[in-house]
Chain A
Amino acid sequence: MTLWYRILSFLPFDWAQPDRMMFMKNALLAIVLLAPVFALLGTMVVNNKMSFFSDALGHGAFTGLVIGGILGLLVPIWAAILFSVVFSVLVTVVRYRSGMAPDTIIGVFSSAAVALGLFLATGSAGKTVRLSSFLVGDILSIGKADISLLAALLLVVVVLWILFYNRLLLISISASLARSRGVQVFRDELLFTVLVAVVVTVSMPWIGLLVINSFLILPAAAARNIASGSRQYTWITVAISLVSGVVGLFISYTVDSATGATIVLVMTVFFFISMLAGRRG
């Protein structure tokens, strides 16, 4: 952290001077840590056409956070993660086992989850829950402990991405082909789903339920317009995510708007630019 503050002190901004505006520096670090995580997962969410599914995971995470807040366990975030993981496993299993159309199943679970979350949060037990912070998110309020959690998350995601990327890519191209080459499709997909659920849950208080899915989808969707090959796709997504995050944070700081929403707007601009520039534009 000290190193981070020292690096920032070289920036020619007012808030970047030593011992000033610590929340801004923390927020910037959080964005830099979160952007690659969302970018990496997003590439695969878009590959697998899971954007609706990841939205449902977000709703599950929201409910998890509300439950965590109410139960007030030692650390509420762990209760929330636990609920999200159970929720994501449940949706995945039902998606595989039942013959119903996936969008129906996702719709059912998504609505049920968010309804439960709102029910609990607005009921008498949930008065202590900061509902709006989960819906809109407030990255400027992030603390040091949360940042170390995000750093750990980035580390875990990168390691898993090195170990599992090839398999996930093969599954996204063709599950039956992957199966024939010895990939355990269900296990790996479940792992990916749980990973998305955990990431969404951990970052929801800072980004907000309303825009969190855009964090996953937009950078990858923009990169798809211009990338050829999975390597380009991955790195362009990470770059767009990082640049949008930092630019969005600065804009929101300047005009005093919700950070998450501002970042999403910047990402949207990138998406349309890439669409016009892209080969399929």
Chain B
Amino acid sequence: MERQEHLLGKKVCSGFCCTKIENFGVKIGKHNILSDVNVHIHCGELTALIGPNGAGKSTLLKALLGEMPHTGELKFLSSTGRHNGHPAFGYVPQTLSLDRSSPANVMDLFLASTTMRPAWFPTARKTKDAVRGYLSRTGAEYLVDRRLGALSGGELQRVLLAMALHPMPDLLLLDEPVSGVDQNGMKAFYEQVSALRAVYDISSIIVTHDLDLIPAYADRVILLNGTVLASGTPDDVFASSAFRTAFPGHQPILTQTTKSNALELLGELNVSYTQDNMNMPISKGDEEATFTNDRLVTACEDQKQTRRLKYNIEQLKEMSQTSAKPAKNQISKTEVRHTKQKNMANIRLGKAKSKTDVSRIKPDNRTIVSHIKTNNRTDVSSIKPDNKTIVSSVKTNNRTAVSSTKTNNRTDVSSVKSDNRTDISSIKTNNKTDLKRTKRGKGKPQ
């Protein structure tokens, strides 16, 4: 019921449900496989679990599932604030090796794992329709009568994902779900999981070796090797020294997010960079923004430059954090960083799949965030500028939450279009609020 309301958009989760893994440790014999693992996961977040072979990634998942004895605690707080020690788990194992000649089909697998009625009894039409419905969540309903042996690797993973989503879990654990699936299948799977977390607000932990796909899909990354070596946004973790030690050969791909972050931060801090500190000239202003971006892209092809740039960004972040006051109603979403400064508001949008253009940032008395297109989710929250905020033409495929915007002077939230769901709540202004051309779509998943 609660979940239903959630699905229909009557309840906003906004990261209030969370899973805490506290002091987890696993011993096999005399060997410490895991120790002191502390992880905090918000709902709706996709967390990538990376680490070298034998780092204990699968062990952590098994310990969470309760298949392995462990020390430490798993705490779960549901979106209603109800403490509930055990989240409902969904689990997609590593690619299964199935008996190709088995007569069992997808329907059998579903029935066998979700119902008490023996699979060799006649199936009621209602049950069949229900199973098709569950499979449609991952676009696998056409596979319902297919033999398991006749499924491709990607198709099987979609079926297993659909199974993991029934009953709807709070925490979805994916153990290298796409190993052995080709690049396209892998991307498709990640997109599916991304879309699901946005629609159903479930937290996911995905064990993966596909480091290149992480920046595009994961909200957070945990680098594990016996214990948590680094955790945070993909950019943070990829820039960490622990990551470079663990994956010395990996060439980080500078994401669009990082690039726009760089631009924002540059503008935000009002620092002009010259060749001295960044090896390239960057000037501010509308016209030069594109030029600068191009230069950034060019520069980023050089790994050395990339690291240097990231290092600079880290430095800038620290500087900006010390100069910015923490927001009162801060909703801790990793995608959303809200910086409150006296003269301007800066809205940084993460995880833009197709394109994020946060180009026309004018670091004077106002902020214009325009033409934001994302495939996943955009949260524009806790904006507290002193002067003026214009959030315009936010287009998302899934969900847009523009919440608790408080301004002293004026807020324009205009032409917010979303395919699925738009929540505009508790906007308080002192002077004037314009909410125009806000369209609400139907609450159906992509």
Contact = CB atoms under 8 A, between A and B. Distances in A.
A166 interface: yes
24 contacts: A49-B99, A162-B118, A162-B121, A165-B119, A166-B115, A166-B116, A167-B112, A170-B109, A172-B102, A174-B93, A174-B98, A177-B93, A177-B113, A178-B113, A181-B113, A223-B103, A224-B103, A227-B103, A229-B107, A230-B105, A231-B122, A231-B123, A232-B103, A233-B120
B12 to A, nearest CB: 31
Return the 4 tightest CB-CB contacts between A and B, nearest first.
A234-B120, A165-B118, A230-B108, A166-B112
A162 B98 CA distance: 24
Given A228-B105, A233-B103, A280-B101, A180 B93 contact: yes
Contacts of A112: none
Interface string A221-243: 00110011111111100000000
B104 interface: yes
Interface in A210-259: 223-224, 227-235
B148 interface: yes
B105 A177 contact: no
Interface in B147-178: 147-148, 160
Contact of A170 (B103, B112, B147): B112
B65 interface: yes
Given A170-B109, A231-B123, 5 more contacts: A165-B118, A166-B112, A169-B119, A172-B102, A174-B93
B67 interface: yes
A71 to B, nearest CB: 38
B96 interface: yes
B285 to A, nearest CB: 55
Contacts of B93: 174, 176-177, 180
Contact of A173 (B91, B123, B148): B148
Interface residues of B, number: 32
Contact of A169 (B101, B108, B117, B122): B108
A31 B291 CA distance: 86
Interface string A11-36: 00000000000000000000000000
B91 A180 contact: yes
Q: Interface on chain B toward A: helix, strand, loop, or mixed SS?
A: loop
A173 B104 contact: yes
B186 interface: no
A172 B119 CA distance: 13
Interface in A174-195: 174, 176-181
Interface of A: 47, 49, 161-162, 165-167, 169-170, 172-174, 176-181, 223-224, 227-235, 280
B145 interface: yes
Contacts of B67: 179-180
B21 interface: no
B166 to A, nearest CB: 11
A174 B105 contact: no
B111 interface: yes
Interface string B138-150: 0000000101100
Contacts of B105: 228-230
Most chain A beta carbons < 10 A, residue from B89, B119, B148: B119
A229 B109 CA distance: 10
B103 A169 contact: no
A203 B116 CA distance: 30
A166 B108 CA distance: 9
A224 B108 contact: no
Contacts of A178: 113
A39 to B, nearest CB: 11
B109 A166 contact: no
Contact of A166 (B65, B98, B111, B148): B111
A132 B78 CA distance: 68
Contacts of A228: 103, 105, 145, 147
A174 B118 CA distance: 17
B322 to A, nearest CB: 46
A169 B109 CA distance: 8
Nearest to A223: B103
Nearest to A174: B96
A235 B91 CA distance: 32
B102 A173 contact: yes
Contacts of A162: 118, 121
A229 B65 contact: no
Given A47-B99, A169-B104, A180-B93, A230 B120 contact: yes
Contacts of A229: 103-105, 107-108, 145, 147
A223 B120 CA distance: 14
Nearest to B106: A229
Contacts of B147: 228-229
A169 B116 CA distance: 12
Interface in B79-94: 89, 91, 93
A181 to B, nearest CB: 5
B101 A224 contact: yes
A173 B112 contact: yes
